[in-house]
Homo-oligomer: A and B are copies of this chain.
Amino acid sequence: MKTDYIYELKMKVRDYECDSQGIVNNANYQHYTEHTRHEFLESRGIKFSTLQEQGIVPVVARIVLEYKTSLKGGDMFYSRLNVKKEGIRYIFQQDIYRAEDEKLCVKAVVECVCIVNGRLKTHEIFDKILIPNS
């Protein structure tokens, strides 16, 4: 893994994720980044469904996606992630690279906030994601 990410997930494009241009439909990259965040949470011992049961709802407030290179059906890719906290926002930097040649496909910045029992605030359970793995 490149050194400036704290998590990566290897995935493969499924043919049904491609549209009539024969490439992955733009919205599906957002699905990839969501799935990567949830897998990252799980790697830190946080299950998304458990959070919801505890009244902690992480929501995306803003997302910026830059499309650089298209992925095609069957392509393997790495979905990599970094996270930092700014105020009550958790800023995820999420980049997708084609596995074959490490070409950057999509650069995403995803700003999340936590809604705890209906109110916007941070929560120690969620802050566990910020502690580096040892």
Contact = CB atoms under 8 A, between A and B. Distances in A.
A28 B60 CA distance: 13
A interface secondary structure, majority: mixed
A26 B48 CA distance: 16
A32 to B, nearest CB: 9
Nearest to A29: B27
A60 B26 contact: yes
Q: Which 9 A-B pairs have the closest CB atoms?
A: A27-B30, A18-B20, A20-B22, A14-B35, A27-B27, A63-B65, A64-B64, A62-B66, A27-B31
Interface in A50-89: 52, 57, 59-67, 72-74
10 contacts: A14-B34, A14-B38, A15-B48, A15-B49, A16-B19, A26-B34, A27-B28, A27-B30, A62-B66, A63-B67
